[in-house]
């Protein structure tokens, strides 16, 4: 059936389209949610870092770099900007005071909650414009997309580990 609708019999063309669709969809959601909730224009990388320290969680810059697959210097620069904007706090952690713990501020957590609420409403409003079968297909695809994300993250982690192992002398 896919081939009859301009797709490929094995689904590879549709999967390539999915890849090309995800980033623009995410950007549209960010833009729409920012406008709807009058949110500041926080870059994606900063939002991802904030999401890595949810309420009640503290992590070191090194832990954040490893979790997000970013260089330590990149995380340090992002943290500096987020701290200047009042979105994260850094404090000494541990008895020797050399380890730093990062946590999101209440302001950051509030912004993320407002963004999530606004983007959820945006998706619901847009989905209301879909035909019944389209909406059911979208709802049914959510668990599959979650599993796909898990698989992509696992592949990415395996690739990082492999590259790190090859870089060791």
Each residue's pLDDT, cut to its tens digit, for the chain (169 residues) gives 444 455 677 888 888 899 899 989 999 999 999 999 999 999 889 999 999 999 999 999 999 999 998 999 999 999 999 999 999 999 987 766 788 999 999 999 999 999 999 999 999 999 999 999 999 999 999 999 999 999 998 998 888 778 778 887 7
CATH number of the domain bearing residue 85: 1.10.10.10
The Cβ of residue 102 has, within 10 Å, a number of other Cβ atoms equal to: 24
Whether residues 67 and 143 share a domain: the answer is no
Domain boundaries, position 122: 41-129
Residue 9 lies in a domain: no
Whether residues 66 and 124 share a domain: the answer is yes
Whether residues 109 and 144 share a domain: the answer is no
Residue 71 lies in a domain: yes
Please name the residues in contact with 34: beta carbons below 8 A apart, sequence gap of 6 or more.
Answer: 40, 41, 115, 118
Residue 27 lies in a domain: no
Residue 60 lies in a domain: yes
Residue 139 lies in a domain: yes
> Is residue 75 a contact partner of residue 49, using CB atoms and an 8 Å limit?
yes
Residue 166 lies in a domain: yes
User: What are the Cα distances from residue 5, in Å, to 18, 19, 77, 128?
Assistant: 15, 18, 47, 24
Q: What is the pTM of this model?
A: 0.79
Whether residues 65 and 124 share a domain: the answer is yes
Whether residues 47 and 75 share a domain: the answer is yes
Number of structural domains in the chain? 2
Residue 36 lies in a domain: no
Rounded to whole angstroms, the Cα distance separating 38 from 19 reads 29
Whether residues 140 and 96 share a domain: the answer is no
- State CA 134 to chain mean position distance: 25
């Amino acid at each position: 059936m896919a081939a009859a609708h301009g797709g490929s019999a094995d689904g590879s063309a549709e999967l390539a389209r999915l890849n090309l669709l995800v980033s623009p969809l995410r950007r549209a959601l960010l833009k729409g949610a920012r406008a709807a909730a009058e949110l500041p224009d926080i870059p994606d990388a900063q939002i991802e870092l904030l999401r890595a320290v949810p309420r009640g969680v503290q992590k070191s810059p090194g832990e954040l770099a490893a979790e997000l697959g970013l260089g330590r210097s990149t995380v340090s620069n992002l943290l500096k900007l987020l701290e200047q904007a009042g979105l994260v706090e850094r404090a000494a952690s541990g008895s020797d005071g050399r380890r730093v713990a990062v946590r999101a501020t209440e302001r950051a957590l509030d912004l993320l909650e407002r963004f999530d609420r606004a983007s959820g409403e945006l998706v619901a409003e847009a989905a209301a414009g879909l035909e019944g079968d389209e909406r059911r297909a979208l709802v049914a695809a959510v668990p599959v997309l979650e599993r796909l994300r898990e698989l992509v993250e696992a592949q990415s982690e395996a690739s990082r580990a492999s590259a790190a192992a090859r870089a060791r002398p």
